[in-house]
Each structure stands twice: as structure tokens, then as C-alpha cells.
């Protein structure tokens, strides 16, 4: 599982220097080159500066993984009518040089800007370490935004992806409550999922239930994508919200009542849905309100799914629990 994003709420300029120092210290502990560290410092500086200058306040999410640094800025400012134009050097709405967004784009391995007038702006940037890793081609492209409950140092939500010859399996769970005990429950469940040789989501949940009885327990959903049979097989216990989108039409998956590790139904069976190209599987923990509607985000499927996950988190995160959104796109 990739680790959760660290969240900072930026409300005044004086806090920015602290954020930049904390991010710099985390990046220094990784194995980025000195050139990349300097580039990350510039990207962080430009991102935080944009929040202050254009929105006044906003939220900054970042994480430093084994092979990549990612940063997301989220604000509810006036938004941008023409995001593509603003990415060009020399274009500014605040009488500056207008090179900040261009610098972010040049220094990032991937960067995207999504904005709507009156709604706000989401900016995503990632910088990969200088390695020779070759990406594996799989049937799903998975993106997720997981954020700790405010003032917690760990996240009790988690997800794991497993690929084999015929299937891609996705497990998304939420440990009861939050904090260290919730994380222990989700980590143990995730380790069992990853080590299991089962491909039936019902059987995995049954065995997982027995394996984590000594923990606080969790709610979770397992989705199995099988390209040979052309179908999804999905089973879940507890309040993980799951939808399958084909274009803007969607189908809801209804999980069983219960808590994995405490009590699950005696009789369960997977729900089966047809598998379609460019389909999107979206899962949310209960830190995200359930009444979200993708129709309010024009053209968002053209962007990296990290942008979509951040948009749902921005508008529907409750702010009083761990909050996570996972999106898996079918190739």
C-alpha cells in the first residue's frame, strides 16, 4: 500500500516557510538527487505561493514514496476560466512575472491543473526518482488520495492492488475509528490480502475475517477485475461507498452489513458487473460524504484520476475522520 498524503491547511503566509521546511526535510531523507531536491523545493515554493496569492487559503497534500514525490494543492478560490492559457509563461492575473505554473510544469514529470470559475483550483505535480524502473502494464490504472484525520499522525484507511495472470484484485478498507489501532487493523488485513492465493472476493473476506479477529476490526470491499471473463466480481462488508462509472452513468454496489474481524454475514455472494473499457471504479471511505455527483466536474475524466480523487475529497471530505478516495480505470 502507498502511504497516505500529509495534509497542511494554509491560512496565512507565515505558515508557508514551516511547510516548505518540513517537506524539504522529508525529501532529504529519501534518495532523490541533489538536483531533484532543488527542483522539488521550487515546485513546493510555487505551489504554496499560488495558494496565498490567488485563493488566500487552501490545503496542501504531499507524500514522498519510494520512487516518487507527489504534491496536490486544493483551494476554493475564484478559479481560472482558461487553465491551459495560465500554464504559459508570462500570463498572470496578479501583476507578477507569470512563470510559476510554467516552472511547475517544466520541473515535474507529470503536472495537471483543473479549475472552474467560482469553484476553485486543484493542481497536481509529481517528480520521479532517477531510476531505470520499467512500469508494468496491467488492466487497471489505480490512483488514490488517503488523508489522516486532522491531528492524527497515521491513517486508518488503506488500499492494496494485486495482479496475477488473469485478474487484478483491489482491496479498499477502513479500520474502525482512527489512529494507531485503526491502522493496525487495516495493515494486518492488507498483508493478509496480499499474501492470499484466493481470487474469490467472498472467500478472501471470510479468511480475512478470521485472520484479524485480534484487531479492532474494519470495513472493506474487494473488487476483482477479470478481462478474460469480461466482468467485475465485487463483495464488501460495511460502509465503503462503491460505484462503477461508464461515462457519466453509474451503478452502485451495495455491501453487506457487519464488521470484518467482529461479525460478518454467514451467507455472502459477489455482485457481478460487466467490464467495459475506460470504466471507472470509485471507492470512498466514510470520511467522504456519499452524495457526490461527477456531473459537476466538466471534462474531469480527461485528467489524471488523482485530480478526480482530489476533487471528491475537496468537496465532500467530512474533515472529522480519515478520508480516502480510490479510483481504478479500466484500460
pLDDT at site 99:
61
pLDDT at site 283:
98
Q: Can you say whether residue 86 is alpha, beta or left, with left for phi > 0 and alpha for psi between -120 and 50 degrees?
A: alpha
CA 190, CA 218: separation in Å to the nearest integer?
Answer: 11
Q: Candidates 3.30.565.10, 3.10.420.10, 3.40.50.300, 1.10.3720.10; correct CATH number of 6-128?
A: 3.30.565.10
Strands 140-147 and 323-330, bridge-based pairing: antiparallel
pLDDT at site 134:
46
pLDDT at site 66:
80
Written as one string, the DSSP assignment of 286-323 is TTB-S---GGGSTTGGGS-HHHHHHHHHHHHB-SSS-E
Written as one string, the DSSP assignment of 124-151 is EEEEE-S--PPPPP-SEEEEEEEEPPTT
pLDDT at site 87:
65
Residue boundaries of the structural domains of the chain: 6-128, 140-330
Whether residue 271 contacts residue 253, with contact meaning beta carbons closer than 8 Å, is answered with: yes
- CB-based burial label for 60 (10 Å; 0-12, 13-18, 19+): buried
Task: Record the pTM.
Answer: 0.93
Which residues of the chain carry a pLDDT beneath 70? Answer: 86-99, 131-138
Which of these, 134, 142, 121, 128, lies nearest to 74 by C-alpha position?
121
Grid cell 525529501 is found at 27
**Cell triple for 225:** 477485475
CA 229, CA 151: separation in Å to the nearest integer?
Answer: 45
Which of these, 257, 254, 273, 276, lies nearest to 265 by C-alpha position?
257
Planar angle of CA 72, 75, 78, nearest 5 degrees: 135
pLDDT at site 97:
41
Compute CA distances 139 → 178, 231, 243, 279, whole Å. Answer: 32, 12, 18, 11
Contacts of 276 (CB under 8 A, 6+ apart): 246, 330
Q: Candidates 3.60.40.10, 3.40.50.10300, 3.50.40.10, 3.40.190.10; correct CATH number of 140-330?
A: 3.60.40.10
Long-range Cβ contacts of 42-45 (<8 Å, 24+ apart): 42/103, 42/107, 43/71, 43/103, 43/104, 43/107, 43/108, 43/125, 43/127, 44/19, 44/20, 44/71, 45/20
Amino acid at each position: 500500500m502507498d502511504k497516505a498524503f500529509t495534509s497542511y491547511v494554509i491560512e496565512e503566509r507565515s505558515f508557508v516557510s514551516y511547510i516548505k521546511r518540513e517537506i524539504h526535510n522529508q525529501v532529504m531523507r529519501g534518495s532523490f538527487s541533489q538536483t531533484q531536491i532543488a527542483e522539488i523545493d521550487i515546485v513546493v515554493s510555487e505551489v504554496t505561493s499560488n495558494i496565498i496569492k490567488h485563493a488566500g487559503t487552501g490545503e496542501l497534500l504531499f507524500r514522498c514514496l519510494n520512487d516518487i514525490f507527489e504534491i496536490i494543492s486544493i483551494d476554493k478560490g475564484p478559479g481560472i476560466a482558461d487553465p491551459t492559457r495560465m500554464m504559459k509563461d508570462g500570463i498572470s492575473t496578479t501583476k507578477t512575472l507569470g512563470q510559476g505554473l510554467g516552472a511547475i510544469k517544466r520541473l515535474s514529470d507529470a503536472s495537471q491543473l483543473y479549475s472552474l470559475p467560482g469553484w476553485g483550483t486543484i493542481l497536481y505535480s509529481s517528480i520521479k526518482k532517477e531510476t531505470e524502473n520499467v512500469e508494468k502494464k496491467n488492466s487497471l490504472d489505480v490512483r488514490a488520495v488517503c488523508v489522516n484525520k486532522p491531528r492524527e499522525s497515521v491513517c486508518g484507511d488503506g488500499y492494496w492492488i494485486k495482479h496475477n495472470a488473469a485478474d487484478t484484485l483491489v482491496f479498499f478498507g477502513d479500520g474502525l475509528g482512527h489512529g494507531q489501532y485503526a491502522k493496525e487493523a487495516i495493515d494486518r488485513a492488507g498483508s493478509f490480502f496480499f499474501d492470499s492465493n484466493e481470487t474469490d472476493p467472498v472467500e478472501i473476506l471470510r479468511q480475512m475475517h478470521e485472520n484479524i479477529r485480534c484487531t479492532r476490526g474494519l470495513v472493506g470491499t474487494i473488487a476483482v477485475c477479470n478481462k478474460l471473463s469480461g466482468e467485475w466480481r465485487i463483495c464488501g462488508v460495511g460502509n465503503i461507498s462503491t460505484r462503477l462509472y461508464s461515462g457519466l452513468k453509474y451503478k452502485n454496489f451495495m455491501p453487506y452489513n457487519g464488521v470484518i474481524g467482529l461479525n460478518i454475514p454467514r451467507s455472502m455472494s459477489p455482485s457481478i458487473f460487466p467490464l467495459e473499457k475506460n470504466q471507472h471504479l470509485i471507492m470512498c471511505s466514510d470520511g467522504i460524504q456519499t452524495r457526490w455527483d461527477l456531473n459537476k466536474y466538466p471534462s474531469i475524466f480527461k485528467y489524471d484520476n488523482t485530480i478526480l480523487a482530489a476533487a471528491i475529497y475537496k468537496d465532500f471530505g467530512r474533515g472529522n475522520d480519515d478520508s480516502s478516495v480510490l479510483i481504478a480505470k479500466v484500460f
